[in-house]
Structure 1
């Protein structure tokens, strides 16, 4: 009787042990809250930055322009508008100045300027637009943090002495070679080109570049 009671007691645990094992296996097979996808673990998709004239250039050119602008603490749309203006909206790295100044490229590098950057206008013209952006950044770097508005940013390209000047500051006067090369900026025809007049031309290109079909 003692043996029967022992065997009976042992076998009475078997159904419960099997049931517990089945529950354990089911728990292991089902995903735990930590393993399940959590809304917090899914990063929201960031909207793509849209800039003036962004639809007219390659994605690589656009991304590099944005990165350069951030390093220089300037608005990427301002830099795009300047390059659009200086290249006749073509963003052609080989475009040259029609007035015969010898200026070439995205921001119309003058021959002496190119030499100061360790290159030549010929080499700049042979580059693709994305590579030439390195020289755009190198040229603008000394003005980083000071090109906070479009007029000042454009002055860094056209007439660096006027970056921090007031809008009425005169850049060129009639009779000078500089005026002859930039007389198209003299909007009121009074024989002088001010910072505000020069910036107004680029502002118009910026406004154009922010229109549907061009912004991107």
Structure 2
């Protein structure tokens, strides 16, 4: 059982009729209400309500027993309220937590649960699990959600069977080939010199177990546990960070296909083709990656399961500009890098209105605009442009020492994308672009914490236009 900061209660249960997971609320006085779903057993796939519950605690403060009303079914299938007494036991399943490297993705999206067109099976619990997994993999959560929705027939259930009669199961329809590859990843590959250290660290981090890699074990897992094996599947098949919908789905349906576009053909892969022939939209005897993605779109699985938080356009441009040759990578040119990033967005022209010779001078110009906000870390959103108006000394043409300040783009998770001296020195003065924690940039060179941030919100843009008229 796990209680989030907002009071949401998540956990697993086991009864003689089967086991499953639950989510609900736990109030400060111990009052409990939740919805439970059987993941395996006699009532697999069915949900139950628990109400008027109360959790008692031991003298040491640990949960002890849970009592309340369980709304179930009698032998005739009629709704019946039972008095339930449950004994608390420590969960052996770790709850998904965002890692430091993935927190920018988690911060950059919010779940669109309950919105029109979104399946009712896309619950807050499902959203949390998918967002966490997307963060760990470095991919768009909407793409991952679309693939899971398609593979699980929108049930988002870890026990989802294969509707075509095959043996695949679960959120992404784990196949026997996938299970075999995951086993190899945790055993054979984990002993190699090149990948062993990375895999062993992941095993410890995610709690993967080889003996859990069977169809039966996967079917009996809760959502929180199986989502970890979804991450394992993609890591075992080397899905790159930043992969798009097509790459993600190829990694599910045909991870070993040698051709990036042609996945299976009727002649070369008759068994696999037969299993997935519904994806051969033009009936030419070959299943292509583009056809598979089109099928996902045609079946209305590509939806806005998650909405971007903050200025996603600037965020994406910043992340894309941390590599390549189209933005400034030489050290000591933080403002030039930000300017080149902003020019890739619809806000480039507006940014240039306040652009001055140094980051400090530009920040001071922005300070009199509606876009400026005095620095408050709790109010930051991904895509905000953070300014330091102190530090970063340089020598001007007359030989005088002046403060140039610093500027970067907030990406979430307490991190800033920028052209900075830390990455410049770390790369051996080859590339100053990188991600650094705000605290790391609050060094002597930058004169302490940031002074403020700029946000191009629609309301502020409108106010600025009115002021110009």
Shorter-chain TM-score range = 0.5 to 0.7
1:191 to 282, 285, 288: 285
- For 1:207 and 1:132, the matched residues in 2 are separated by 21
TM-score (norm 2): 0.32
Asked if residue 140 in structure 1 is aligned to residue 234 in structure 2, the reply is yes
Residue 50 in structure 1 maps to residue 122 in structure 2: no
User: Among residues 162, 168, 172, which one is paired with 1:103 in the alignment?
Assistant: 168
Deviation at 1:207, TM superposition (A): 5.5
TM-score by length of 1: 0.66
Q: Which runs of 4+ in 1 moved over 6 A?
A: none
1:158 alignment partner, one of 228, 250, 253: 253
**Is residue 131 of structure 2 the alignment partner of residue 70 of structure 1?**
no
**Residue number in structure 2 paired with 1:149:** 244
Cα 1:144–1:111 shift into 2, 3 Å:
closer
| 1:100-143 Cα deviation digits (max 9, x unpaired) | 33101000111343353421111111112222101001111243
* Cα offset, 1:208, TM superposition: 5.0
In structure 2, the CA distance between the partners of 1:173 and 1:163, relative to structure 1 (3 Å rule), is closer
Summarize deviations over 1:63-120 as a string: whole Å, max 9, x none.
2211221221110011111010001111121122233331010001113433534211
**Aligned counterpart, 1:13:** none
Q: Which residue of 1 aligns with 2:223?
A: 129
Of 129, 137, 149 in structure 2, the residue corresponding to residue 84 of structure 1 is 149
Q: Which residue of 2 aligns with 1:31?
A: none
**Contact map agreement 1:93 1:124 (CA 8 A) in 2:** yes
1:164–1:192 CA distance, 2 compared to 1 (3 A)? closer
CA distance in 2 between counterparts of 1:153 and 1:163 reads: 15
Is 1:201 matched with 2:295?
A: yes
* Alignment gaps of 5+ in structure 1: 1-45
Aligned partner of 1:170 in structure 2 is 262
CA distance in 2, matches of 1:63, 1:48: 11
**How big is the shift at 1:55?**
5.5
* SS of aligned partner of 1:92: coil
Aligned counterpart in structure 2 of residue 93 of structure 1, from 133, 137, 158 = 158
Select the structure with the greater relative contact order (CA < 8 A; seq sep ≥ 6): 1
CA distance in 2 between partners of 1:54 and 1:215 (Å)? 13
Higher strand share: 2
